[in-house]
């Protein structure tokens, strides 16, 4: 049991923001190695059951840095996706049938099929329903 305590202490992280910064200064992530190191530190912090204020602030900082890097490195050019392609993608990912789509939008279930085939276009109100359901901007479903 003593060995376990020593291992836990060896892996423990400082409680203060300043000490954590000395351990690994937060800075803009420029490459995949730095990204991986930052993610590993986040994982270590996430294993702590109750964070000190300094740990919580440091964790939030690292998460924001990772999000910014991933947004830059793995951004999807949505301009190339049509509203119809987006509609097909989200319904497929959600395992929704054309009938399910129609019911979600409050229209006859057969209308879902017409929308997915491109025979009919979504209204702005329908796009707002989809945006709310899938937690995305309604404009993604509109044709330009």
Task: Inform me whether the pLDDT recorded for 89 exceeds 80.
Answer: yes
Contact, 58 vs 13, CB < 8 A? Answer: no
Residue 16 DSSP code: S
The arithmetic mean of pLDDT across residues 55-75, rounded, is 89
DSSP code per residue over 92-111: HHHT--HHHHHHHHTS-HHH
What class, spelled out in words, does domain 78-141 have in CATH?
mainly alpha
Phi first, then psi: give them for residue 97, nearest 5 degrees. Answer: -85, 170
Listed residue (70, 74, 59) closest to 26, CA to CA? 59
Where are the domains positioned within the chain?
A: 14-73, 78-141
- Under the banding of pLDDT at 50, 70 and 90, the label for residue 3 is very low
CB-facing half-sphere around the CA of 71: CA atoms within 13 A: 7
Q: What's the whole-number mean pLDDT along residues 40-60?
A: 94
């Amino acid at each position: 049991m003593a060995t376990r305590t020593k291992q836990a202490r060896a892996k423990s992280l400082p409680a203060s923001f300043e000490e954590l910064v000395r351990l690994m200064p937060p800075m803009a992530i420029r490459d995949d190695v730095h990204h991986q190191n930052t993610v590993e530190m986040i994982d270590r912090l996430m294993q702590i059951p109750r964070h000190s204020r300094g740990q919580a602030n440091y964790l939030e900082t690292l998460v924001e840095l990772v999000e910014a890097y991933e947004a830059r490195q793995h951004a999807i050019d949505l301009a190339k996706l049509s509203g119809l392609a987006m509609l097909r993608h989200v319904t497929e990912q959600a395992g929704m049938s054309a009938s399910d789509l129609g019911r979600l939008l409050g229209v006859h279930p057969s209308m879902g099929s017409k929308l997915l085939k491109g025979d009919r276009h979504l209204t702005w109100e329908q796009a707002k329903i989809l945006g709310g359901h899938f937690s995305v901007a309604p404009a993604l479903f509109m044709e330009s």
